[in-house]
Amino acid sequence: MKLSTVIVFALTLAASSFALTAEELLVEPPAILPGSQPATTKQLDMTGQPESEIVIKFSHVVAPETPKGQAAERFKQLAEQYTNGRVRVEIYPNSQLFKDSEEIDALQRGKVQMLAPSLSKFGQIGVRQFELFDLPYIFPNREVLHRVMDADIGKGLFKKLSTKGLTGLAYWDNGFKQMSSNKPMHKVADLKGLKIRIQPSNVLEAQIKALGANPQAMDFSAVYPALQQGIVDGAENPVSNFYTQKMHEVQKHLTISNHGYLGYAVIVNKKFWEDLPPDIRDALTRAMKEATLFERDIAQRENDDALAKVIAANTTVVYSLSPGERTAWHSALLPVYQEFDNVIGSYLIRSVAHIAQEVQKEQNETKPKGKKAPTKK
């Protein structure tokens, strides 16, 4: 039996009929946070009367050409169209307005109206169940991931955000993470002692330690200079982030390890959202739905294109783990599950394993005879 199968099996022990409802995720009373009013500017309408325009400042930390950056642009275009210009969306990419360590606080204080932080950033504001998404090798493919996001688990997690004065609108993809450094990393032992930049997540910290390396949490905007100056030896990110931040210029090796996942929750300030006129909220919801479909459609392709560009740049050796090496990485990372079982909730972890089993079963039923079910995409 393959180790990945063993992991799924181990996680689903006694959980075969497990079904989680959103209500089963404990919801705490809402925190009292300063709300934000829509930022408005007065304009004249066709009759010469002042009409208020609602401005949504959408801040994010990545490049405009990444999946998140492109989807933010698509949302802007659709939101302005569907509200007939009553809403204007201003996009601030590349940590221009706020760094990742500042942006959620800025949203809660109403300094911006919309963000799409990576899912790894929510554990730090006290919603530890989001660390589910950081568990190594938990999603065998995007199908499983999307079912987790779109059904009870994803909805339950969004419910928990409301206790922080936030409203979750959508889950966006980036992709599976790869490991980079200035030395080849094939065996787990190759990572020993390396300083690896991580996002501020307890699971990611434990993951890097389990690989024998030293985790260093820092803002996304600090990663390139930290790599350039040797403050850290390596980092983990989907290739779209690796390429668009030019990390290939300062990292000699990239290991295609697919050891974890990086995706986003698009969030708004709860009070801002609830105070919007209902027709505006409906139009923005429609725009967000379409932008999300667009985002999920391009994410894998953008990562594949970025990988082709990294290879073409010829500054970084790209290595894919062999099946045996991948199994060794899996084994080294298994203790992380035990460590976080209580924090994240074993019911959530088992539920993902159950969904993975269902997807696998469906794929086996529909796959043409003699062909293997697709792996990570």
Residue 251 binds to ligand LMR (criterion: CB under 6 A): no
Kindly state the tokens that stand for 7: 């992991």
Q: Which residues 259-318 are close enough to bind ligand LMR by CB under 6 A?
A: 262
Q: Burial level of 2, CB count in 10 A (0-12/13-18/19+)? A: exposed
Number of residues that bind ligand LMR (CB under 6 A): 10
H/E segment holding residue 40: strand 39-44
Least distance (Å) between residue 75 CB and ligand LMR: 16
Residue 174 binds to ligand LMR (criterion: CB under 6 A): yes
Least distance (Å) between residue 71 CB and ligand LMR: 12
Closer residue to ligand LMR, CB minimum distance, 226 or 349? 226
Considering only residues 59, 199, 258, 316, which one is a binding residue for ligand LMR as defined by CB under 6 A? 199
Least distance (Å) between residue 78 CB and ligand LMR: 21
Q: Which residues contact 188 (CB under 8 A, 6 or more apart)?
A: 211, 212, 328, 329, 332
Q: Which of 57, 78, 328 has the alpha carbon at shortest distance from 210?
A: 328
Q: Which residues contact 123 (CB under 8 A, 6 or more apart)?
A: 130, 131, 134, 200, 201, 202, 203
Cβ–Cβ under 8 Å, residues 216 and 195: yes
* Sequential DSSP letters for 135-151: STT--SSHHHHHHHHHS
Least distance (Å) between residue 46 CB and ligand LMR: 40
Q: Which residues contact 22 (CB under 8 A, 6 or more apart)?
A: 152, 155, 156, 159
Residue 220 binds to ligand LMR (criterion: CB under 6 A): yes
Which string of b and e fits 76-92 if b means at least 16 CB within 10 Å?
A: bebbbebbeebbbbebb
Q: How far apart are CA 251 and CA 157, in angstroms?
A: 35
Closer residue to ligand LMR, CB minimum distance, 61 or 227? 61
Tell me the residue number closest to ligand LMR, measured at CB. Answer: 118
Closer residue to ligand LMR, CB minimum distance, 62 or 161? 62
Closer residue to ligand LMR, CB minimum distance, 104 or 185? 104
Least distance (Å) between residue 248 CB and ligand LMR: 15
Closer residue to ligand LMR, CB minimum distance, 118 or 178? 118
Closer residue to ligand LMR, CB minimum distance, 36 or 241? 241
Q: Which of 130, 134, 82 has the alpha carbon at shortest distance from 290?
A: 82
Q: How far apart are CA 117 and CA 114, in angstroms?
A: 10
Considering only residues 129, 241, 258, 300, which one is a binding residue for ligand LMR as defined by CB under 6 A? 241
Least distance (Å) between residue 100 CB and ligand LMR: 5
Q: How far apart are CA 211 and CA 227, in angstroms?
A: 19
Considering only residues 118, 257, 269, 303, which one is a binding residue for ligand LMR as defined by CB under 6 A? 118
Closer residue to ligand LMR, CB minimum distance, 152 or 173? 173
Closer residue to ligand LMR, CB minimum distance, 103 or 152? 103
Site pattern 59..98 for ligand LMR (x: CB under 6 A) = --xx------------------------------------
Least distance (Å) between residue 257 CB and ligand LMR: 15
Q: Give the residues lining the site for ligand LMR (CB under 6 A).
A: 61-62, 100, 118, 174, 199, 220, 237, 241, 262
